[in-house]
Structure 1
Amino acid sequence: MEHEGGRYAALVKFAQPTAGEAAERWADLLVCEHLALQCLRDAGVPAAASEILQADTHTFLEVQRFDRTVDVLGRRGFVSLLALSSAFVGDVTVDWGTAADALLTQGWVDRDAQAALGRLHAFGRLIGNSDMHQGNLGFHLVDRGPLPLAPAYDMLPMSLAPSRTGVLRAATPLAPIAPERSGQLAHLHWAAPLAVDYWQRVAGSVLLRSGVLRDLAAENARRVQAMGQRFG
């Protein structure tokens, strides 16, 4: 992409909201993804830069690639958590925090990255991200030493996504969330205010077409705020 005399590489996702209820939901979820990345960046959490472009017939989400150099002629080394887990953990089904714990003991990540993975996983749970598989997180490659965590990407409330057959899922408020293992309480406590901010942004966004989703987001903000009080 040409930008202010320079160039950058980008991924572009799109949906055609006028093509039916499921397509409209996907268009709104592109907005939700943009707002999640924006929310993380505003909180000082590295996340991919993004922009929403809306036309009469399509909604586009442009996400700048962090695995490309500024001039887009070269690549910056990147490895997914999935690849690391496959090679050194032996279990690609565990959550991000559990995988980070195992990689820490082997020196592949440092304690800052371990904590960041746990926090991102907690944030994802509190915004209804049901698709936090290990391919949706990764690291920059370096010559030696622990691998630095790459910016967050693909962070959105996938629990609201239509099924693979195009069936629209009901806009159901978040169920109560609790720690599932030792160490998660602190991450949930950190993530709760950020998730409240996120849901409030969704509730107030004029980019969403669905009033149902805005109402749901407002309810989720209230629910996460109450959960946060219980987290301490």
Structure 2
Amino acid sequence: MLPFTVHPVGDSALLAVFTQRIAPEIGAAVAALNTRVLFANISGVDETVPAFASLMVTYDPLVTDYDAVAAAVQKLADAPDADSTAENGKLVTIPVCYGGEFGPDLPFVARHAGLTEQEVIALHTGRDYRIYMLGFLPGFPYLGGLDERLFTPRLDTPRTAIPAGSVGIGGEQTGIYPIASPGGWQLIGRTPLKLFDPAAGTLPYAAGDRIRFTPITKAEFNALAQKEGAV
């Protein structure tokens, strides 16, 4: 497993910090360590929070302490087969209607890339994306693996309202707004799926999983939205 350092976070958490950059091998190492910690059932550990290049592990200080949890995490990482748990996670397919009212920034992304809108769609749907972390909003997936030709700067002035399900590009990443919110990413499409259930707090994916976007027509969008109860 790639090397990392461990630091205390308050009196009830620690942070395993890898090299601070966004890269597939670092994301895989974080996912591998996260899987190991989750399946190890370390006494007193409550939760894990994976990010781009770090893993936070929270624990109950009345049950255990920093030294014990840090030692357990390091032991898991030092195991001979530690990298074998760096699996791809489950694959979640997200249908997206691109362009038009659903993706108002698709023309700009295409012009910025020197491509046609259909070429942008083909590139965006032509690969799987690893979920590096969830953040910003409940269930917002920061996805790695965007084709370099689609790298597009964020909006100079963020929008005050973005519809739930909007799919955007921000710099070197792509992601999905699971709920309505402000935001500054370039919107290229929208999914009709209701990704986040506030009442249940559930999502169809987690950090370490993969997302595959599939293009759908406006008619298919409307039919799925009606089925999802989003209209």
Smaller-chain TM-score range? under 0.3
In our comparison, the structure showing a higher alpha carbon Rg is 2
The normalised TM-score by structure 2 is 0.26
Q: Which structure features the higher share of helix residues?
A: 1
